[in-house]
Amino acid sequence: MPISDAESVVMDVLWRASAPMSAEDVVAALAESTEWQEPTIKTLLNRLLGKRAISAVREGKRYLYSAKLKREDYVHIESKSLLDRLFGGRVAPLVAHFSEKGKLSKKDVAELKRLIEGLDDDA
């Protein structure tokens, strides 16, 4: 279920919500961070419904939307796609790329070392 960049912005609003949201709630939540008009956001909600990434429950004259696709599942799908497309499915070339470009902070390196040590402990 490919989710576009615009759809992922709407999904993020629904993932952060503590309760189902109306279209008007989603519009209000996106008002400061985007210049999207209400029809655009409703179109994105309808696309996400079609992809079964969200659900809608009728409440009176409006619908309340909530995420069906879990954020963790979305991150897994997107990260696997990135690794497959750019790095042949391997993590090491990804880390090497960021290392070579100076994009890894000392904190990042320390965290990576801790993660690798944890993998060694499990082996």
Is residue 122's pLDDT more than 70? no
What pLDDT sits at residue 93?
A: 87
**Average model confidence (pLDDT) across the chain:** 91
**Pick the residue with more confidence: 95 or 71?**
71
| Average pLDDT score over residue span 39-59 | 97
DSSP H helical ranges for 17-62 = 23-30, 38-50
When pLDDT is cut at 50, 70 and 90, the band that residue 64 belongs to is very high
**CATH 1.10.10.10 location in the chain:** 5-67
Is residue 123's pLDDT more than 60? no
Decide which of 1.10.10.10, 1.20.1730.10, 3.40.50.620, 3.40.140.10 is the CATH code for 5-67: 1.10.10.10
| Average pLDDT score over residue span 8-34 | 96
| Average pLDDT score over residue span 34-53 | 96
Rounded to 10 degrees, the C-alpha dihedral 26/44/63/57 comes to -110
Secondary-structure class of domain 71-122 per CATH? mainly alpha
Element (H, E) at 110: helix 106-122
**CATH 1.10.4040 location in the chain:** 71-122
